[in-house]
Structures are given as C-alpha cells and as structure tokens.
Structure 1
C-alpha cells in the first residue's frame, strides 16, 4: 500500500473531526428500504449487546403490535412518553427532557423522520436526536430510504405518494455508523401477508398501493445505492486520514480531462457514455496552468462551453491549477480514487512528440495504476462547421491582435537602444562585455512583454551584435571564434532566462488575480458581517457583485406571504430594474439557475441564481453581466458561488437574529405579564379585600359602631388605598422609564436639602426607627432631578424598613470623592441571598414572592433606572455585621460659578 506525505491541512481537519466526535455522542442509524424489513428488531438486538457494559435506555420504540419486537423490550428501562393533546386527540411523543435528565450512555429512539406534536421543543424528531448527541449521549435510531430529503421526491414519483416527513441528508451523512437492514421484496411481501408488519385489514390496502413488488425493488435499489455512497465517503475519509495515495479498484469513478482543443466536447460525450454503461460517477476537469491563462478569448469560451456541457450531462466539474498539468491530474485522481481516465490522443506527432513530449504520455508513464481511454480526433472541416454552428452561444470578446503586434514591435526597439548605448564604447571595452548590455535588454523585454517577444529580442540582439560589434563590423560574418561562442552562449542564456522570466511573470499575474478575488471576498464578508438587516445585506451584495462581475444586479427576497417581491427600498446605481418575477418564482421553486447563458430560459437578458441556505430557498440573485465570461469562467463561477454562499449565510444569520430577538421580546413580555398579574392578584387583592370589608362594615353597621371603631375602619381604608395608589404609581413610573419618555429636569442643590426633604416625607415611616445620619461637611452641590432622586432615597428607606427588624437601626450617610457623590442606605436585616445581588433589581422580582412584605417588586428597579438615567450607578452588597448596604453613586459635575458682585453684596 503506497502512502504519500501527509497534508498539514488534512491532518488539521482530521484532528478537528476527531475532537468533535470525542465531544459528541455516536449516532448509529438502522437503515432500510421500507417498513417491516426488521430495523427496530435489529436495533434492539444490537442494544442488548451493549447492556452488559453500558447504561442503555429505551426512549421510544414503535412495535406496531409485533410480538417479536415486544418480546425484545424485556429487561430494558423504558422512559415514560410525553402525553399531549391536539385537536381532541391524545398524542404520545418522545420525552426529550426526561431523556436529558436521565443522561444514559445509550438511548434508543425509533423513527428518526417523525414529526413531533405541535408545541414540542423541536418540530422534528431528528432535531431531538441532535440535541442528545450534542450532550454526548449515544443514539440508536431507524430510518427508511423514502424519508431522505434528497430522495423523497424520487420515491414519491415511484410509489405515487408524496412523502412529507424527511431527514436532511447532511444529518444522515454525519452518522457514525449506518447499518443496512435488507430483505428481499418477496420475503417482505410474505411477512406482510402473515400480518407481521401491519394488521390484516391494513396489510391488504398496503399490498395494493405502497407495497407493490415493483415499488419494493426500486426502494431496495435506492437504499443499497445510498448506503454504497455512504460507504464510499467513509472510504475517502479513511484514505485521506491515512495519506493513502494508491488507487483502490473497488468502484468506478471516471475523470475526463478537457483542454483548449477541438476534442473537449467529444471527450465529455464519450465520458458520459462510458459512465452510463458502467453506472459510475464521472468528473470533468480542466487544468489551468500559467501558460493557459494567456489563451485567446475564443479558446477559453470553448473550455467554458465544454464544462457547462458536462454539468448538463450530470458530471461534477472541477478546475485545477498548477504549473505541471500531468502532476495536477494525477494528484486529483489519487485523492479522489479515480479508476478510469478519459483523455484525448496527443496532438503532437512524429519528431515533435519525441523531443517535446506530451501531457498524455507523461500521465500514462507516471500513473500505472490508472486505466486510460484515449479518444482520437476528427476531420478539421467538421470541427470548423461545428464551431460555426455554435458561434452564437456565447458573446466572444474582440481579439487582442493589435496588442500582440505592439508587444512584438516593442521588443525590437530595446535591442536598438542597447546598440546605440554600446556604440560610443566600442573601442574601450571588448565585444564580450557588449554582449552583457544586450543580455540586460533581453531581460527587460522578458519582464515587460513576456516570453515570445523576449525570444525575438534575443535573436535581434544577436544579429545587431554580429553586424555592429563582431569583427568584421558592418557584416554578419564573425571571424573571431571567441565572439562566436559568446554570442551562442548569450542566445542560450537569453532564451532560458526569458522563459523563466515569462513563467514568473505569468505566475505573478495569476497570483495577483487570485489575490484580487480573495480581497473581494474578504471585503464582502467583512461588510456582510456588520450588516444588521436584510436591506443592508442586499445593498452590500449588489454593490460588491457589480464591482467584481461588472453586472447590474438585484436580490429578490420573498415577502411575508412567501411570494417573490422587489426590494422595499430605493434602487442604487448598481441595481437592476425590470426583473421578470415569473422567472424568479421558477428559480425559487426549482432551486436551479435560469436565464441568459443557462439551459433554462436562455432567451432572458438576465441571469437568475438561487440563494439556498440550510433551511431551503432564501431568495434569488438576478444579474445582467456586460460579458458572460466574467461569470461563467471556472474561476469566476467559483467566486460567484462563494459570494452567493456568503450572502445566504448572512441572510440566515439576520433572520435567525430577528427571530431570536422576537422570541426574547415575547418571552420577556410574557414574563412581565405573568409577574404583573401575580403581583396584582396577590398584593393588590389583599388591600382591595380590606377596603371592601371595612367599607361594607361602615355601610351596614356604621350607626351601631362607636367612634373609635369607625375611625379604625376609615384608617384601614385610607392606608390600603394609599398602598394601592403607591403601587400603581410605581407601575406607571416604571412604564415611563421603560418608554424613555422621562426628561430629566436637573438643578443644582445640596445633599442636605435632599435628605431633609426625604426625611420630612418619610417621617411617619421612620418615626419608630433609629436612623443614624452622617453627612460629611463641605459636600459639593449636585446637579440632579430632585424629585426623582427623592423617589430613589424614599424607596431605599422603605426597603430598609421592610427587610430589617422593627427595633433595628438604619444608617444613612453621604460623602464626596473627587469624581462622584456617594450616598449609603444600610440596614441590619438578613441581607441579600447569595447570587441575587443583581437579580433584586429586575422588574417584579421579590426574594419571597408570598412573604409577609407587600409590594409588586418594582421599587429597586425604579431606583436603578433613575440613577442610571443620571449617569450614575446603584450597587448593593451585604455588610460584614449583617444587613444590606445600598450605594448610590452620582457623577460629579463642574460646580457653578458665583458672581463676585453678588458675593460682595452678601458680605456684612
């Protein structure tokens, strides 16, 4: 077994895959062609083997009344099902939360494609399984081939029934193991007639419809083929992980190589016929070397046309790059386990093939483990006729003949300049030194004009040197043997150097083009990452696609009803107007490109590209390029597809963020609503009951009550009504603060005045309390909204009174730092429970929801909002000696100046 040197990128990818699998649970899918082949039975047998050394739990098993399956459930721990009601029906579903709480090592979940009941956490059962896997829990599950997303339409056309419950192919492909459970159609029909799959009355109906023998044969072939594809993917991953370079002849994969010649389309059709006869996957590849970058426009269009033909015939297309065409083809064939290679016969024949070689001969000599199919040419006249017939398929840009002529003409004047530069020194330096001047000129031509003109300059320099400098001068004869040898060496060095310089120049040009594409992609990605709405994404995309592909364009997104609609914004210079929404709808329904240059609606003037995300169609990019080559050349096509992926991912990100934000708003609104209702039902119900009881007593027996009793009832009504008024005021105050409609009316005032006014307003509440007041002398003036700051201090004092003993002291003091004014309100109560230091400032939050202290839980939230509106901060911490300490921090402002004239008048 031949091994190659490991690729660092492949090793890094392998490490990442291994690390991801280590953290994620293992998924094993028991895969079958139809119901009744024994998937659940096989899954239970496999689970029994793990019961001896692993914790195994049955999350959900559908036995469908099969006694053999029910017997295998003995000895397993079964999780209870989640019972839900929907439209009068009782539904029993898989209980995901119970499974997460149980956290077994392995859990069995039947019927992966099942759709959960409305109201479940996830819409599909495979999403439940994905959550279990993310937590490191192994899962065994079952799946039928008709439920794969990529096959459900094909299956529907076979069986005549549309399959609605599907599983994404990406989830299926990510499974750690696929166990194919196979049964022949005859055996399956026998089991069906014996009642081992469905009840007798249902079995007869199934035989007439879904379980026809032809259907079962087709489904079995699909299941076998899909499993083979899965096994092939695993084999490729194994080969990459172990750096295996040799070809494994275990399956047919055909690679057809096309180039800038007249055989390209014949090679594609021949490869298609060969792939069809072998039922094999086939790939069309084009290798773009530095030399091929300089092909004329017509040749590049021929290559593009051949690649598009291969795609239309079902091939995968790839554009390879490298300086050696043979090495690039062989490396790709080995990396992808290609077994057969389709090539055109060498174009060079006779002595040219013998001396210069050919790419075909090189590939055959270097890859003895490949099978080769060579295709011969056809008459030149037939090729010309065929090219004339398809000349209207693509717009061919004007040739560059004038440019080529100017390059070769420019290569002639530099040797003349070198001749003139060396002429004054012909008697001073030797002719051999003059040759270095000509060599320098050839290098300049190679750098400026490329290899062809530099070779022409080499021979021109040789002729000029022989005529003007090699004795006898003014003659092409060279009498000195040393000059002859020097001239020949100069020619060889010039030709080799010009070739190397031309190659470096071509590679630099390719690197510049690639760097330009990478920069364009980086700029697009950077701006899309900063986009926060669909409109920003559309504007960014339109601008960048216009700059890179020289195409007017627009992005059509579906409206709320799912219909294609123009963007709801003013068009910009790069926008395309007048889009055919009928074509847009076709592209959205079929997820395939259409329009000019495609096989669908080629008469359209614009190109329509689908924007596809993980959840389906997101929209359509419509573009009208000035030149189709800017879009359909292989490297440009890859760049455009990358652009489309970036746009689709950005649209999904924005939509997901909007949906998440909407859900968060809904959850917060629901939480606030519930908290408000809870507060009203509990804290406002009690005073209402007191008011009703007291007022009822006054109404019924007011005349019989003495003055003290009446006064007591009236006082109770007053107190409870004032409490309700205070709570209602807090709710309204919080609503104002949340809406942002509160404007601060600041004024300069001393802290002593604020504390004094608060003390006066809270006199009744504080009269039975011992308050330790400490105010530092010389406090600065503060610039605040006085009524709002008074509300803050009153709420903090009220909170201190509620949550501290009746005989406990309250400490109130204020002090000034260089940058802020700090006011402390401290009590000696139980303090704040650990972990709730920030939670107590949430709206409607109370440490004890049903405690003896009344209130709706808004006081501290209002305090924090008011202090933050002033640019300050409200903190809380537990005191060492017990109790809570609230700290108001207000930023210091520049003190107002006092007029000196008024100061003099105030002096005694």
Structure 2
C-alpha cells in the first residue's frame, strides 16, 4: 500500500516563489522556418480576444506575408535606437515595457545577442528582468541554441552555434513544441519562405540537409519530453504524490585550463539533466599543471564561468596529485559519475607511468567514469600555449650557470685529480647538479646531471679524454646522478610552487583577518570603506570602488583605491543596476559586459547596502575563480561592517532620544518653582478680576492685566528656553540660514525689550558697518542677542546703560554686549555658559540658568565662539561672540 509522500517544504517554497514571478512560454523548434513565430502570434491573438493586456515587445516576421498578417492589430512597443560603429540599430525597449507593465509581452528570438550599449548582453537576460517584474513572456528558440547542445549540434551539422542560452532559462518554462515534417521544411526553404533564394540554396547545401533536420527534430522532441517529465515529477513532489523516486546522483566534471573543458562541462550538464543529478565542476592545481600564462588563466576562468551559468557547483583545489585530490572530492561528496577528458597525445612520462585517466579508472572503485576523447588537432589556444612554453624554454640562464660551474670544477679536477681522488671528484661534479636542481627545477637538474656525468667521464675516469668506460660499475654512479637531478629538481619545483601558493593564501588570509580586525573596532564608515578598497586593490592588483546609497536612495561614490581616476557615469549606471536588481554585472558577465569593471552587490541581513566594483586589468576578460572567491569574502565583510555601523548609528540616535527625554524630565523638575511663580500670579490676577471686578477701578484693572501679561511672557520665555535646550542636546536643531544685515538682527532683538523697559533703561548700539551681511539663521541669532540682553539687564544696575558693539574683519564679525554691574567671580567665568548654572548675586534674580547655555549652543552651531570678560573700568561684564563671514554669492546684491 503506497503511503502519501510528505511534501518537501523547500520544493513547496520554491513553487510559491515561482508563482510570484511572471510565466515564461517558449515555442521550441528544431530549426528556423518551422513556424515558431507564427504559432506564437496565433496564441497571442487568442489572448487578445479574451481581453488580456498583451503587447509585442519584439517580433521578427522576416518579411513573411502570413506572419506579418498575424502581427497586424497586436499593440506594439516601439523599439529604441542605438548607435554602433556609426550605424543606428534598433533594439527592444526594455524600460518602455517595464513602464507599461502588460500582462503578456511577445519577445521573439530568445538567443539573440543585443546591440552593444544595451543593458544586457543577451536577450534572455532582458526576459529574466521582465519575468522578475511579474510580466508573462512568450518567446521562441531553436534547439541548437541551448548551451548544453552546442557541441552535439556542431558535430551533427558541422556548424558551431555562437548564440546560446543557458538550459536553466527553460527550467520552469511552459514548452510548446513546434514541428513540421522534414520534407515540408525543405519545401518551404526551396519556395523562398524562409530565406531569399541565394541564401536558401546555401542553407540546403550546408545546414538544412535531411539528416541534420531529422537529428535536430529528435533532439527537440527528447528535450521537450524530458522537460515535461521533470515538470510532472516536480508537481508530484510539491503535492506529496507517492511514486518511484530515483536514487540521488552526483556528476563530477574534471577540467583543466584547456578549452576542451568547456565541452566536458556541457556534456556533464546534459548527463546531470538526464539523471536529475547535481553537477560538480572540479579543477585541481598541482605543481606540474600550474597556470603559466594569462591565456591559460583566462581560459580556466571562462570554463568556470560557463559552469556557473549552467548552475554547477565549482570546486577549485590545489594539491600534489590530481588523481588523489579528484577521488577524495568524489568520495567526500558522494559522486556517482565522473566525466574526464582523454588527451589527444600522451606525454612521455604518461606513457611510462600512466596517464591521469588511467589512474582514475583504476582507483575509482564503485564510481562510474565517462572518458571523453579529445578533438585531436590542436586549437589555436594550444598552439599559442606551446609557443609561450617554447619562449620560456629558451631562457638560457638555468643552463649557462651550471655549465660555468662545471667548467670551474673540471679545471680543478684536471689540475688536482691525483690529489683529490675519484670519489671526491665525483662529489664535486655532483655539487652543480644539486645546485641546479634546487635552484632552477627538474629540467635544469637533469640537463646538468647529464652534462656533469659526460664531463666527469671524459676528463676523470680512465681512460681519460675518451668516452670509454673501463669499469661498468661507474654506470651505477651515472644513474644515481641523473636520478638525483630528476627527483631533487621535481621536489624543488613542487616546493617552490607550494611556497608561492602558501604565500598567496597567507597574504589573502592575513588581509581578511586584518580587515576584519580593522572594521570591527571602527565606527566611521569612511575609514572602514577606505580600508576595504585598499586591501582589495592590493590583493587583486586592480582598482576598487565602493558605492553606498545616500539619504535620497541614489548611489554615491564613498571610497576609491585611486582617487585620481574619475568614476565615469556609464560605470555608475552599471553599479546602479546591480544595486537595484541585487545581481552581479559588468566585465566578465553577460549583464552589461561592456563595462570596465566587475560589480557585485553588498548584501547583509538588512538588505542591499552598497556595491563593490573591481576594475580588472585590460588583459583579463574574466575575474579568476580564486580572486572571485576573495572578492566575495571582502564583499561579505564590507556588507557586515556597513550594517554594523548603520546599527550603531541607529543605537546612538536612540540613545540621544533617550537622553533628551531624561533631559526634559530633569528640566521640568528643576524649574518647577519658576513655573509655579508666574502661574500663581496669573491665577490670582484672573480670579480677582472675575470675582471682584466691580471693586477695581480702571487703573487697578490695568495693573492686574499687566501682571497677567508679564507672567505669560515669562512662562513663554521659559518654555522656549526648555524646548531650545532639548533640541540642542538631541541634535535636532537645524539651521535655516539666510543672508541678512547684522543691524536688522540687533534692531529686532532690542525691540523685544522696548515695551517692558520703557524709559527706565537705555540700550546703545555701535555698529562699524550697518550694511554688513551675514549668512545666519535670523530667528536663532536674534534669540542669542535677546538672551545676552536679558542677562545684562538682570545682573546690571537698574538705571545703567547696555552697550551693543559690532566689529568685523575679512574673516569674522564680533558682537559684544556690555553692562555696568557687578563683576563675575573669576571661578565662575568659565562656567556661566553651563546648563542650570547661575552666579550668586546679592539681589533675588529669577531664572533657570539656560539662556547663556542656549546662546553658546546656537553660536557654536554657526561655527562661532562665545566668551565673557569682566570690565576693568568701570565695573561690569562684557560677553563677546563671533560668527564666521563667508563670501557673498553673486546672486545676493551688495548694499
């Protein structure tokens, strides 16, 4: 009895996520001319008749009357013009489609390569963006354009397809197979319904041969059948339907820096697809196959990039023995299938000691091994690599130095042979072999050993000056000498490469550790980002930039390893796209590949917090796998640092708000008396007026009203001081600067006291330049003067004058308020601007001690200073404050 299978939560989640995206419908055909576009337009017209919002984003009718007739009446999105090499070419307007957001959009030719200058390199990437936006897409493609079928199609037809799409694009697509008989397709071609006559004849002779068409039809049908079967299995898994499920399989592809690796990866993808298995792509670096040229590095990076496109897991390791490392990975990852390439020509040592393929076959135990033969003839890349190797082999230094040493030893042995003896002479001849093998490697060591034994035989072993060996036991010495040169040279080469790799890993690990330590203790974002770009630039030997969003959401350049090089706008556009779509882009990728740099998003738990850009060297087309992993690690650390600093800022803001709340509470508690006094007088006056209004004459009534007014003004001033102090403490007070005359500020401040003072006190003003313009917050600066005047009026003699003086130079303006009263004790001078600080006075003076503290905060917010001094003659106090002067812009007319 079959039990209902438990639903896999991961598969269920994936199904839900797929439902939030647009649906892709692919009209798949075996070749051009089978009617894919025609069938797509027929379905589109049916959808239009159902009232669905549908537009044609890009449809290529190829001037076929039947197709063009179907296209009539379907709403179209106008293409955009792009200039390329002096020509204006048309391309699909992706942004216009995203703006109108139709339910369905028609996008013909899935494998099309976009015009340079477009957002994406390939049209299938445009379609991915449309699907991510929730728009359903109808498209067309031929079977030969699938990446995993590229090699098979090349073998069948003899034509290498250049425009391909990853198989993963069709992973969740709805397939509609469009097929017609081979004879009907050839007839359409002969009638000129596919190509013009001269092109049709060439196509019939090359690509559209009956055998080729039948093979392509079989491929398309098998692919469609496999896709339908996989979709059925996915449906059964999501809905928990019981059934026979295949055992878990893992396919491992072994590659090198040879271009043949791309073919192995594609074949591995097809085998993994057929087995519903996970695909691993493994590269093992050893001393014997280390990358010696930029060409090899680029080819390896290209192969690994292809593996990532085909959704394979990439594993790159280093070790002593390729076979041992491969089989260890296979055992650790439970690999069931190994795909390895068979070299077209074996090396000499492989003929005697066995090739890698033979060793894998012998030691693979229960793992199935697929051996794929090479293509035989060498490619241009192989020939170029051979030329590079020959050029390096022509370096004569590793051979001339041992020859010079052998010449010196031969002279010594010739002159003192009788005294040294054959054994000591043999040791002398062994010395250049040891030095050459240890210094220059295996080839130089073997070469030196051969030359050394020949020289030793010719000049030392009897009969001298001949190559004849009287005693055959010397052959053992010769063999030992050659073996020492070989093994010591091999060991030296291996140790040298290990040393280089160890140093690289050590420097990379040290850089990561150093960066993690630096950013862990620093809360300044600019310092952290500057450290990151420096570390990354040193490791990858390139230029590095970091962009983070500003308050308005726009990306801004915050750090650069080379500030002398300007950051171009087109590079900023690529970084913006990466930030908005949370995907890598730039050089070495299929998205905006024309950019100079490689960009990846900085992602933390809080979301995308920036973009890291790396400008590769001009000779590098792809970011090498090792560098890519390192850049990813740096990007993760940077994202964590940015997120941490952001959280620190938020915590600091929260703490400031908390402190502000505490300050407000303390203020209310400390000034309760100052609040109760005016309130009591106001309540008493109002009560008297309401209850005994007829007992008061006009003069008494006015006195009571005046009492109410004075109490209200006092409370208003007190409340304003409280609010201003709280805003200053919490950094919430913002300046609203404007150009105004200093004399106007003083006039408004004095006017505040005119009514209360009447003719009792006199406020004098001395202004050197009454038309002087200052760039300040008018209201706040008026409040500063009002607070200083209020302080002077309180602490000076009741009938004395107050003097306001204004002086200026080219850099600043100085304003002083002088009174004639009691001096401030010396110990109090430096504290009078503190909160709640009040100078002891013989008179009873009300106040909270906030006026001068608020004045200090406002002046410093303007970038100025404030201080107090006791007058010498006559007695009193003068408070000075300065405000910086800035250059008046041309838009402000000078008075």
Return the TM-score normalized by structure 1: 0.50
Shift of 1:696: 4.1
Q: Is 1:607 aligned with 2:604?
A: no
**Equivalent residue number for residue 549 of structure 1:** 540
**Structure 1 residues 794 and 661, CA gap change in structure 2 (3 angstroms):** closer
The answer (yes or no) to whether the contact 2:828–2:839 under 8 Å persists in 1 is: no
* Secondary structure, aligned partner of 1:317: strand
**Equivalent residue number for residue 310 of structure 2:** 313
Aligned mate of 1:425, from 405, 409, 416: 416
**Equivalent residue number for residue 284 of structure 1:** 281
* Secondary structure, aligned partner of 1:323: coil
Shift of 1:470: 1.6
**Structure 1 residues 292 and 29, CA gap change in structure 2 (3 angstroms):** closer
Shift of 1:570: 12
The 5 Å alignment of 1:331-730 reads 331-345=328-342, 355-380=352-377, 383-384=378-379, 401=392, 404-567=395-558, 572-573=563-564, 576-577=567-568, 579-629=570-620, 632-669=623-660, 671-672=661-662, 675=665, 686-696=676-686
Post-superposition CA distance 1:4-39 (Å, at most 9, x none): xxxxxxxxxxxxxxxxxxxxxxxx99968999xxxx
Shift of 1:471: 2.0
The answer (yes or no) to whether the contact 1:552–1:575 under 8 Å persists in 2 is: no
The answer (yes or no) to whether the contact 2:298–2:622 under 8 Å persists in 1 is: no
* Secondary structure, aligned partner of 1:648: helix
The answer (yes or no) to whether the contact 1:252–1:338 under 8 Å persists in 2 is: yes
Post-superposition CA distance 1:584-626 (Å, at most 9, x none): 3332333333333322333333333333333333333333322
The answer (yes or no) to whether the contact 2:253–2:282 under 8 Å persists in 1 is: yes
* Secondary structure, aligned partner of 2:418: coil
* Secondary structure, aligned partner of 2:420: coil
Q: Is 1:251 aligned with 2:251?
A: no
**Equivalent residue number for residue 827 of structure 1:** none
* Corresponding pairs, count: 544
Distance in 2 (alpha carbons) for counterparts of 1:30 and 1:276: 18
The answer (yes or no) to whether the contact 2:587–2:593 under 8 Å persists in 1 is: yes
The answer (yes or no) to whether the contact 2:543–2:562 under 8 Å persists in 1 is: no
Distance in 2 (alpha carbons) for counterparts of 1:610 and 1:361: 44
Shift of 1:480: 3.7
The answer (yes or no) to whether the contact 1:446–1:501 under 8 Å persists in 2 is: yes
Q: Is 1:224 aligned with 2:215?
A: no
Shift of 1:466: 1.1
Distance in 2 (alpha carbons) for counterparts of 1:285 and 1:34: 30
Shift of 1:685: 5.8
Distance in 2 (alpha carbons) for counterparts of 1:258 and 1:310: 11
Shift of 1:285: 0.9
Shift of 1:297: 3.6
Shift of 1:795: 12
* Secondary structure, aligned partner of 1:416: helix
Gapped regions of structure 1 (runs ≥ 5): 1-27, 36-149, 161-213, 229-247, 706-712, 742-780, 797-854, 863-908
* Secondary structure, aligned partner of 1:580: helix
The 5 Å alignment of 1:721-760 reads none
The answer (yes or no) to whether the contact 2:410–2:455 under 8 Å persists in 1 is: yes
**Structure 1 residues 337 and 681, CA gap change in structure 2 (3 angstroms):** farther
**Structure 1 residues 526 and 295, CA gap change in structure 2 (3 angstroms):** same
The answer (yes or no) to whether the contact 2:548–2:610 under 8 Å persists in 1 is: yes
The answer (yes or no) to whether the contact 2:284–2:319 under 8 Å persists in 1 is: yes
Distance in 2 (alpha carbons) for counterparts of 1:29 and 1:311: 22
The answer (yes or no) to whether the contact 1:435–1:487 under 8 Å persists in 2 is: no
* Secondary structure, aligned partner of 1:632: coil
**Structure 1 residues 733 and 642, CA gap change in structure 2 (3 angstroms):** closer
**Structure 1 residues 284 and 31, CA gap change in structure 2 (3 angstroms):** closer
Shift of 1:225: 6.8
The alignment's C-alpha RMSD in Å is: 5.5
**Equivalent residue number for residue 92 of structure 1:** none
The 5 Å alignment of 1:171-182 reads none
Return the TM-score normalized by structure 2: 0.50
* Secondary structure, aligned partner of 1:291: coil
The answer (yes or no) to whether the contact 2:582–2:608 under 8 Å persists in 1 is: yes
**Structure 1 residues 725 and 573, CA gap change in structure 2 (3 angstroms):** closer
* Secondary structure, aligned partner of 2:433: helix
The answer (yes or no) to whether the contact 2:602–2:635 under 8 Å persists in 1 is: yes
